[in-house]
Amino acid sequence: MAAGQPQASTRPDSVRTFCASDAEDRGPIRDTGAGGNVNGDRTTSAAPTLDEVKSWPVTVEVRRACRAIGISSSWGYQLIALDEFPCRVIKIGHRSRVVTASLLALLESA
């Protein structure tokens, strides 16, 4: 093969990478289809029940609150940055925590 020409991929169509330039560093990401979990090491879980949320501590992590609301954590963090998150958020240094009482009020009003 001539220098400078891209090499043909031998990967199956069900495997894709984020960026061709660093694909070898990260390895392939498997596309499991709509709603599937593309990270083999992480698990997704169903939204918690209202009774479960009532047993949570006074504040919770953003991603836990997002799961209860039914939005992705990345969207939740974007809403926090825009100061539009639907619940009260307390910022401690670079971390954000969601007030459980505010989350409960939102869920009970829905």
pLDDT digits (tens, 9 = 90+) for 83-94: 999 999 999 999
pLDDT at 41 over 50: no
Do 54 and 94 fall within a single domain? yes
User: Looking at residue 69, which CATH number applies to its domain?
Assistant: 1.10.10
Boundary of a domain, candidates 22, 40, 58:
40
pLDDT at 7: 56
Give the count of domains, the chain: 2
pLDDT at 45: 72
pLDDT at 50: 95
Query: How do strand 89-92 and strand 29-30 relate by DSSP bridges?
Result: unpaired
Q: Is residue 96 within 8 Å of residue 80, measured between CB atoms?
A: yes
Residue-number span of the structural domain to which 55 is assigned? 50-109
Per residue in 47-86, pLDDT (tens digit) is 999 999 999 999 999 999 999 999 999 999 999 999 999 9
Do 54 and 98 fall within a single domain? yes
Do 54 and 105 fall within a single domain? yes
Per residue in 5-27, pLDDT (tens digit) is 555 545 444 444 333 444 444 44
What CA dihedral angle connects 68, 71, 75 and 76, to 10 degrees? Answer: -20
Q: State both tokens at 61.
A: 């992590």
Do 26 and 55 fall within a single domain? no
Do 57 and 36 fall within a single domain? no
